[in-house]
Amino acid sequence: MQDLDELYQSVVERKENPKPGSYTDYLFTKGLDKILKKVGEESTEVIVAAKNPDKSELRYETADLLYHLMVLLVEQGVSFDEIKEELGSRVGLMSKTKDRPEIKDL
Ligand SMILES: N=c1c2ncn([C@@H]3O[C@H](COP(=O)(O)OP(=O)(O)OP(=O)(O)O)[C@@H](O)[C@H]3O)c2ncn1[C@@H]1O[C@H](COP(=O)(O)O)[C@@H](O)[C@H]1O
């Protein structure tokens, strides 16, 4: 099992110490447009997989998407801790739907 912190750190390590031939190095070498294209592709694959009753495809494609999002964060200099802080700041906040009339119709 690999947690998301470890995955993020592995990607940072690849950025700081390029390993020619690795897929992560290939993405960083190709640059932002390629990384964005992959995030778009993998997002679409998650959506299509979610329509399939067999959940193994959804697991596989979600893992692919999370990995490519990590590559995007590293490329853009956003740490995974910042994402966790953002999520943490929402705990308790988002459940107060009665205070948020804009989401009543969702
Ligand atoms: N978690 C992943 C991971 N998930 C998916 N992938 C790669 O993402 C690619 C997605 O497949 P696609 O068919 O969409 O892409 P492709 O046809 O291979 O290539 P392109 O479409 O980009 O040309 C595959 O090559 C997978 O190997 C990953 N590559 C690396 N990691 C992790 O990243 C870290 C660094 O790994 P290296 O890149 O091997 O150094 C390690 O922790 C790895 O476990």
Residue 60 in contact with ligand 1 by CB distance below 6 A: no
Residue 24 in contact with ligand 1 by CB distance below 6 A: yes
CA 96 to centroid of ligand 1, rounded, Å: 39
CA distance 7 to 38: 17
ipTM for the assembly: 0.94
Tell me what pLDDT residue 92 has: 86
Q: Convert the pLDDT of each residue in 54-93 to its tens digit.
A: 999 999 999 999 999 999 999 999 999 999 999 999 998 7
CA distance 92 to 81: 19
CA 97 to centroid of ligand 1, rounded, Å: 39
The CATH fold assigned to 4-83 is: Helix Hairpins (1.10.287)
The dihedral region occupied by 31, where left means phi > 0, alpha psi between -120 and 50, and beta the remainder, is: left
In angstroms, how far is the first alpha carbon of the chain from the final one?
35
Q: Is the pTM of this model over 0.95?
A: no
Domain ranges of the chain: 4-83
